[in-house]
Amino acid sequence: MLHYKTAHELTAMLNNREISAEEMVASVIGRIDDVEDKIGAYITLSADRALEKARRIDSTPSGGGELPALAGIPMALKDNMCTENIRTTCASKILHSFVPPYNATVYNRLERAGCVLVGKTNMDEFAMGSSTENSGLKPTFNPWDTQRVPGGSSGGSAAAVASGMSVFALGSDTGGSIRQPAALCGVVGMKPTYGRVSRYGLVAFASSLDQIGPLTRDVEDCALVLNHICGYDRYDSTSVDKPAEDFTSGLRGGVRGLRVAVPSQYFGQGIEPGVRERVTGAIETLEGLGAVCSEVSLPHTEHALSAYYIISSAEASSNLARYDGIRYGYRAEGYSDLMDMFVKTRSQGFGAEVKRRIMLGTYALSSGYYDAYYKKAQKVRTLIKADFDRVFEEHDLIVSPTSPTVAFKVGEKLQDPLQMYLSDVFTIPVNIAGLPAISVPCGFSEGLPVGLQLIGKPFAEAALLQAAFAYEQSTEFHKMYPQV
């Protein structure tokens, strides 16, 4: 089953001439033909374009030098990353037919590495959601149980990788939107440090929180993809000018002597017993590998959710003001004047969750309420970051559950936004503080995947990957696949 091979396995096979790039891509496209109708991971497919690029890679003369590092590897992009001449919808009616005139920086970098884009994946509309049920175009289902959600907002990317419909995918993470679906779908998902990966060409949700990252089959693939998407970009004003690293070089360093913090606030009320047991077992495994684990406190964690929804919604209300029906995207019909066109376009073009957050954010920024809400949320953000800084003075990384629950049933939380928001309670603090974090599979509860979250110091992706790899290699969870 080529479609379940990792990128590093496929690259070795291609270099040894055991397979061709066309065979790799055809295998994934065949898998899409077989299971996409059950999963609904993709919004737009580019199969013909993908096969054409694979053939070009195969026709490269043998004397023409080495192939690019990820030559022929089939990948998918979350549909909020711009792709020239391929539509980018953000799973919203308002951008249903939008075709960007340029590529996101991450896409250009992966193209140069030889990757082959097979399609754009489904998501919660404008990345606002935790289940991919808020997509304005269609639902996506979890490959482990199609009666359940894949998580969100990068649910399409996670489901595509978990079901063999892509070797890896990129997602975006504003409050857990890579790590939470990775946990619910049983794959690896990483949110890099804020500023590590260019956001140029990523359709903005909350600009001070958004970050692009990979969803992969295993930790080594995660490191490989990071090698190519990290790095300074002059087109992104928040991009950090930091030398490139080879994240694969130190993977096998182990965790002996590593100081691991276990925050008590992440194991309290609201976490399912099965999730707690699997994560506690993973901590014991790390200790068995030589890590030194100790309990710590992150006292302002309880305020993270409230602060996040004020800050992110405020930034969303500003970022989404550009969708007015004039310059691009959907425009309502039957309006009487300019103001009526604005109102009807935005009312018809945005879904319920997006409108909810725009209204919340506009209220928080309005005259008389700015200090009481937005300014106070930013002060809480500072306190949350200070909690992490204090813990990292004496510890190398922090460990926690990725999600308090396994994948929940489709429709179960749609009528209760607060319960849906609580799905990201363990991932949101990481975005608020701008830290890197990774989710790796750590077992199953009720037959569904559970994710272990490792949180690192700023720009400590290499150390995080090393710890995640050591844990992964002591288990078999990353080798298990759903029977779709």
Q: Which residue type, as a one-letter code, is found at position 180? A: Q
Cα 65 from Cα 55, distance rounded (Å): 17
Residue among 5, 53, 78, 191 flagged as catalytic: 78
Domains of the chain: residue spans and CATH: 2-260+395-479 (3.90.1300.10)
Residue among 172, 177, 313, 317 flagged as catalytic: 177
Blockwise average pLDDT, block size 10, the chain, 484 residues: 95 95 98 98 97 94 75 98 98 96 98 98 98 96 98 98 98 98 98 98 97 98 98 97 92 96 93 97 98 97 96 97 92 93 95 96 93 96 98 98 97 88 95 98 97 98 98 96 92
User: 191 catalytic, yes or no?
Assistant: no
Beta strands in 70-211 (DSSP E): 74-78, 116-121, 168-172, 188-191
Edge-first strand listing for the sheet containing 397-401: 42-45, 116-121, 74-78, 168-172, 212-216, 188-191, 437-445, 448-456, 397-401, 259-263, 292-296
Per-residue pLDDT reduced to its tens digit, 378-408: 999 999 999 999 999 999 999 999 999 999 9
CB atoms within 10 A of CB 49: 15
Residue among 46, 92, 153, 423 flagged as catalytic: 153
Cα distance from N-terminal residue to C-terminal residue, the chain: 13
User: 62 catalytic, yes or no?
Assistant: no
Task: Quote the pLDDT of residue 418.
Answer: 82
User: 177 catalytic, yes or no?
Assistant: yes
DSSP summary character for residue 6: -
CB 156 within 8 A of CB 78: yes
Task: Quote the pLDDT of residue 166.
Answer: 98
Task: Quote the pLDDT of residue 268.
Answer: 86
